[in-house]
Amino acid sequence: MIEVRELTKRYGRTVAVDRLSCTVEPGKVTGFLGPNGAGKTTTMNIALGLHRPTSGEVLIGGRRYGDLRQPMRHVGALLDAGAVHPARSAHHHLRWLALSNGIGYRRVTETLEMVGLAGVARKKVGGFSLGMRQRLGVAAALLGDPGVLMFDEPVNGLDPDGIRWIRELMRSLAAEGRTVLLSSHVMSELEQTADRLVIVGRGRLIADTTVRELADRFGRLEDAYVSLTSQAVEYPAGREGIA
């Protein structure tokens, strides 16, 4: 479970996250949805101990990230799939991560097979396509067999096969009882995958609901999303000076 409690993050005068509270439950895919700049990445970065909150907290399985012993066994994340040394092989990258986190060698082979990279495991990551890098990022997230997974815009740049693969993976991870948080700024990416939706705008909670509830209330989900977030878009269409 992920618990976000009264979370606020300011960068200078920018309020990236504004007293956000929500609970992300196990056994479900929860979509974390909001326009650009809504505070999704910031919230995830704080959950993963990469940024410090101004106030409030995020708990993973009841503990702050900094208090987790062997964090990769509790939480895995795909944030920036490009952040891998290009001269390293996929296998080398994962083995290094495993070693530094007390994870056994067998799990490296296992995760490479799970994400379909076993055949290119010894090739340099520099030659990987975006889809292959995403798969490697997912393998790294799964390495510690964690109960909580966070994926920041995981389908960005993927082809239809890759998109289907990642959707099915999310669903199967949730079916195994894991907590799966999946961020996106596009409703259509989430409507087939997510059970619950946490919708944010300008750092604030706009809705904490289910896909079904939203569909019942608004009909088309995309309409629901546009209507709910219309006040929270940084650069609304038609504003002067913006094409």
Ligand X SMILES: Nc1ncnc2c1ncn2[C@@H]1O[C@H](COP(=O)(O)OP(=O)(O)OP(=O)(O)O)[C@@H](O)[C@H]1O
Interacting residue ranges for ligand X, rule: CB under 6 A: 11, 14, 16, 34, 36-42, 185
- Whether residue 203 contacts residue 39, with contact meaning beta carbons closer than 8 Å, is answered with yes
Nearer to ligand X, 117 or 198 (CB): 198
Nearer to ligand X, 36 or 100 (CB): 36
Nearer to ligand X, 34 or 144 (CB): 34
Closest distance of CB 110 from ligand X, Å: 31
Rounded-to-integer distance, Cα 223 and Cα 215, Å:
10
Rounded-to-integer distance, Cα 167 and Cα 50, Å:
26
Q: What is the three-state SS of 88-134?
A: CEHHHHHHHHHHHCCCCHHHHHHHHHHCCCHHHCCCEHHHCCHHHHH
Q: Give Cβ neighbours of residue 105 (< 8 Å, ≥ 6 apart).
A: 95, 98
Can you tell me whether residue 195 is helix, strand or coil? coil
- Whether residue 111 contacts residue 72, with contact meaning beta carbons closer than 8 Å, is answered with no
Closest distance of CB 208 from ligand X, Å: 16
Nearer to ligand X, 26 or 56 (CB): 56
What DSSP element (H or E) covers 164?
A: helix 160-175
Nearer to ligand X, 38 or 125 (CB): 38
- Whether residue 115 contacts residue 107, with contact meaning beta carbons closer than 8 Å, is answered with no
User: What does the CA dihedral 196, 187, 183, 129 come to, rounded to 10 degrees?
Assistant: 130
Closest distance of CB 188 from ligand X, Å: 15
Nearer to ligand X, 12 or 66 (CB): 12
Closest distance of CB 20 from ligand X, Å: 11
Rounded-to-integer distance, Cα 54 and Cα 18, Å:
10
Closest distance of CB 27 from ligand X, Å: 25
Closest distance of CB 5 from ligand X, Å: 18
Q: Which of 144, 196, 184 is CA-nearest to residue 29?
A: 196
Nearer to ligand X, 16 or 174 (CB): 16
Closest distance of CB 149 from ligand X, Å: 17
